[in-house]
Amino acid sequence: MFTLEAHLTHDITDKVWVSLDSLSRIGGETSNDGESQGNQQASTSLGGTLGVTPWDGGRLTVSGGTVIGRNDFGADGWQVMVQMQHVF
């Protein structure tokens, strides 16, 4: 499976940033007795992230995105993710 991930990030302030996120995947085709099954996966997703640094060593991010292009075997759907991290 080949994956290409890209982020275009911009700092709003020294504690707040945003990004435009892209993820493309292709591959994963299976074979049976050496014969290709013609089921290679392909999909491209687009989304965004808002990140804040509310305290020293801490980070809070909210990300979301959706699939904007795919073949019959590629991923489909949308996702929302919230992360809180702290470095000790």
Q: In the prediction, which pLDDT does 44 show?
A: 97
Three-state DSSP class for residue 38: coil
Separation CA 5–CA 33 (nearest Å): 33
What lies within 8 Å, CB to CB, of 13 at 6+ separation is: none
What's this model's pTM, rounded to 2 decimal places?
0.80
Between strands 58-70 and 78-86, the pairing is antiparallel
Q: In the prediction, which pLDDT does 81 show?
A: 96
Residue 72 exposed, middle or buried by CB count within 10 Å (0-12, 13-18, 19+): exposed
Smallest Cα–Cα separation from 3: which of 77, 80, 74? 74
pLDDT digit of tens for each residue in the chain (88 aa)?
A: 999 999 999 999 999 999 999 999 999 899 999 888 999 999 999 999 999 999 999 999 999 999 999 999 998 999 999 999 999 8
